[in-house]
Structure 1
C-alpha cells in the first residue's frame, strides 16, 4: 500500500561539513564532505547513488539540520529550503568522507555557486542516498551515455566494472577543458563529444553519436542519463529500434532544458516527464 506523502515519516537528514574543495575541470568542482555526521550516512552499492541536498536562504540564518515541518508553519513556500539532487561520486568508509561533483556555470543556479564558494567547515545537509544502477558482470557489453550531469555516475560505474568489461562510453561536455580522467577498463572505448558551448537542443551531439556509433553483438546493459529530451531520443532508439529489454536499460532524466528543478520535478508526474510513454520515467534525480 502506498503511504500518503503527508503520513510518511520525514526523511532522516545527514549533516556533513566541507573538508576540501577542488576544481577538477573548467566547469566542475569536487567537494569532499565529512565530519561526525558521516555516522548517519547509509551507503548503497549502486554506482548512480544520489542525495537530495537542502539549501536554505542565508538571510534566514538557519543551521542544518532543518525542521521542515516547523519551517512550513512560519515561512511562505518561496522561502523554504530548496532541494537539489546530486550523484555521490565516491565514498571512503575508512576516512568517513564522501565526494560530490558540482557543475558550475558562473553564479547561475543554487548548488553550483554554493559549491564554487564553499570553504572547509561549511555545513550541508541532505537525505538519501537513492540509486539503482550497478554494472552487471553478466552483460556481454556495456553502453554508457550522458552529459555533464551524468559524469560522476559514469566515472563511478566504470571504476566498479570488472577489468575485463567491454563496451562504448559517450560523454558530452562543453569543451575539451571539461573532460576528466576516467579509470576505465581497457575494453571500454570512451568517446568525448564537445558541444562548443552551453547545452541547447541544437548544439547537443550525444544522442546522434550513440545512434551512429558501434553496436556490438550480444546482451547489452545500458546506462543513459542526462537531459530529458536526449534520454527520450535514446529510449526510442534503444527500446523501439534496437529492442533492448527494459530490464537492461537504466534511463533517467537528470534535468530538462529550460526548466528550473521545481518545474522539472513537478513534470515527472505528467506525460512530458515520462521517459517511457506507458509509465513514469525511471527518474533517478535532477542535477544543477
Structure 2
C-alpha cells in the first residue's frame, strides 16, 4: 500500500478559553441550526489549516441557573456542587471568516434532549457562549486515489468542511445518514465525489441505522483511499472492522472516531473512552 502523504496539522498544546456573542441564527433543516459568533475574543481563536476543527463548549447543566459566561471554573468549584458546574460539549466549527471576525457552528436540534442542542434551539442574537480550542488535524490528501466520507448527522459539519477543502479533481463517495429527506443539506463538493443521503425514517437506534450496510454495499474502487468516518460509537466499531480489518485501509489513511454513543450522555461517553467499551481500536486503545 502506498505511503500516506497527507499533511495533518499539529494539535496545539495551548487552547485558550474565549467568550463570543451570537450575531446570527439560521435554520438549516428541522434538526439543524447554524449559529454565527463574533466579538472581541475572536482574536484569541488560533485558527489552523485543519478542516475538522472542533471546540469544547462550556454550558451550565441547568439553563435557568443564572450562571452566565465568562465562567471562572476555579472559582465556581469553590461555590457550586459538582452537578451544577458547567459541562463540556464538543462541536465542529463550520467555517471561520477572519475578515468579519466571525465563526460559524452547526448544532443538531433534538428537542429537550441533550445540553448544546436545547441551548442552540433557544439561542438569540446577543447570547454568549464560552468555549476553548480549536483542535483538529485532518486534511484531504490530494495524492489519494479516491476519498470515502461517512457519517451521521453529528458528522455533517465536518464532512461538509472536508468536501469544501478537496481539490476540484477529487473523486470518491460521501455517505451521510439522516432521519428523513428534510434533513439533507446542500453541500458543495467536487464533481467527482458522489454524495448519497441515507434515510433511517426516524430517530437513530441500533435497529434503524443503515450506514454500515450502505458502506459495505458500496463498490470498492482501486487505489489508495483516504477515509473520513465519524459518527455513533458502535457503528464506528463495525466500520473499523470492515475498513481496516477486511479492506486493509491503513490507519494513516483512516480518520475514524466516535462523535457520540447511543444511550449515553456526553459525560458518560467521554468517561468511557479509556475503557474497552469506548475504544475503536481496542488492541491499542486509540480513538482516530
Q: Which residue of 1 aligns with 2:107?
A: 102
Give the alignment of 1:47-196 within 5 angstroms.
47-56=51-60, 57-196=62-201
Return the offset for 1:106. Answer: 1.3
Deviations 1:165-195, CA, capped at 9 Å, x for gaps: 0001100000000000010000001111000
SS at match of 1:268: helix
Quote the residue 1:5 is aligned against.
Answer: none
User: In structure 2, what is the Cα distance between the partners aligned to 1:282 and 1:132?
Assistant: 13
Match of 1:245 in 2: 250
Q: Deviations over 1:90-130 (max 9, x none)?
A: 11111111110001011211111111111111000101111
CA shift, 1:59, in A, is 3.9
Deviations 1:145-182 (A, max 9, x none): 00000000000100000010000110000000000001
1:16 aligns with 2:8: no
Shift of 1:261: 0.6
Question: Is 52-61 or 163-172 further displaced after alignment?
Answer: 52-61
1:230 is paired with a residue of what secondary structure?
A: helix
Point out 4+ residue stretches in structure 1 off by more than 6 angstroms.
none
What is the deviation of 1:280? 2.3
Cα distance 1:210–1:120, how it changes in 2: closer, same or farther (>3 A)? Answer: same
Instruction: Spell out, residue by residue over 1:182-230, the C-alpha distance to the aligned partner (whole angstroms, 9 max, x if none).
Output: 1000000111100000000000000110011021100000000000011
Q: TM-score, normalised by structure 2?
A: 0.93
RMSD, matched Cα: 1.3
Please give the TM-score of this superposition, normalised by the length of structure 1: 0.93
Does the 8 Å CA contact 1:72/1:80 hold for their aligned counterparts? yes
Shift of 1:10: 8.8
CA distance in 2, matches of 1:77, 1:226: 29
Count of matched residue pairs: 275
Which position in structure 2 is the counterpart of 1:26?
Answer: 30
CA drift of 1:11 comes to 5.1
Q: Tell me the alpha carbon deviations over residues 63-92 of structure 1, each in whole angstroms, 9 at most, x when there is no partner.
A: 322111111121111000011110001111
What is the distance in 1 between the residues matched to 2:183 and 2:41? 32
Distance 1:62 1:116 in 2: 19
